[in-house]
Amino acid sequence: MIRQHPLCRTRVAAWLLAAGFLLDAAAAAAGEPARIPVFVTQARQVSIADRIEALGTLRANESVELTTSVTETVTSLHFDDGDRVDAGQVLVEMTSGEEHAQLEEAKATVAEARRQYERIKSLRETQTAAESLLDQRRREWETGRARLAAIESRLADRLVRAPFAGVVGLRNISVGTLVEPGDLITTLDDDSVMKLDFSVPALYLDILTPGLPVTAGTRAWEGRQFEGSVKSIDSRVDPVTRTVIVRALLPNPDHRLRPGMLMQVELLNRRRQAIVIPEECLVPQGERQFVFVVDTSADNTVERREIRIGTRRPGDVEVVDGLAVGERVITDGTLKVRAGSKVTIRAVDDGSTPIHELLESTPADISAP
Residue 324 CB-density burial (10 A; 0-12 exposed, 13-18 middle, 19+ buried): exposed
Q: CATH topology of 6-49+273-360 equal to that of 96-157?
A: no
pLDDT at 4: 46
Name the 3-class secondary structure at 364: coil
Digitized pLDDT (tens) for each residue of the chain, 369 residues in all: 334 444 444 444 444 444 444 444 444 445 556 688 888 888 899 888 878 889 999 999 999 999 998 888 898 899 999 999 999 999 998 887 777 787 788 888 889 889 888 888 888 787 777 888 888 888 888 888 898 888 777 777 888 999 999 999 999 999 999 999 989 999 999 999 999 999 999 988 888 889 988 999 999 998 899 999 999 999 999 999 999 999 999 999 999 999 999 999 988 877 888 999 998 889 998 889 999 999 888 888 888 999 999 888 888 899 999 899 989 998 888 788 888 888 888 888 766 565 556 555 545 444 444
Backbone angles phi, psi at 140, to 5 degrees: -65, -40
**Whole-angstrom distance, CA of residue 276 vs CA of residue 344:** 23
**C-alpha to C-alpha distance for 222 and 311, rounded to whole angstroms:** 27
Q: Given this model, what pLDDT does residue 18 score?
A: 46
Of 319, 294, 295, nearest to 307 (Cα)?
A: 319
Dist CA 282 CA 310 (whole Å): 13
**pLDDT (tens digit, 9 = 90+) per residue, 183-230?**
999 999 999 999 999 999 998 888 888 998 899 999 999 889 999 999
Any idea what DSSP says for residue 165?
A: S
Please give the CATH topology (third level) of the domain spanning 96-157.
Helix Hairpins (1.10.287)
pLDDT of residue 229: 93
Residue 233's pLDDT is what?
Answer: 94
What's the pLDDT at 296? 84
CA–CA dist 117, 123 (Å, integer): 10
Overall pTM > 0.75:
no
| Dist CA 150 CA 75 (whole Å) | 22
> For the chain, how are helix, strand and coil distributed in percent, rounded to 5?
25, 40, 30
Per-residue pLDDT at 57: 95
CA distance 219 to 254: 17
> What burial class does residue 234 get, using C-beta atoms within 10 Å of its C-beta: 0-12 exposed, 13-18 middle, 19+ buried?
middle
At the topology level, CATH places domain 6-49+273-360 in 2.40.420
All structural domains of the chain with their residue ranges: 6-49+273-360, 51-62+190-271, 96-157
- What whole-number distance in Å separates Cα of residue 171 and Cα of residue 329? 65
- CATH top-level class of 51-62+190-271: mainly beta
Bridge partners, 283 (sequence order): 290
Strand partners, 321: 308
Give the pLDDT confidence score for residue 103 in this predicted structure: 75
Residue 353 sits at the vertex; the CA angle it makes with 333 and 22, to the nearest 5 degrees, is 30
Q: Do 150 and 56 touch, CB atoms closer than 8 A?
A: no
Cα dihedral 19/21/26/28 (nearest 10): 150
CB 288 within 8 A of CB 17: no
Task: Give the side-chain half-sphere CA count within 13 A for 285.
Answer: 9
333 CB-contact burial (10 Å; exposed 0-12 / middle 13-18 / buried 19+): buried
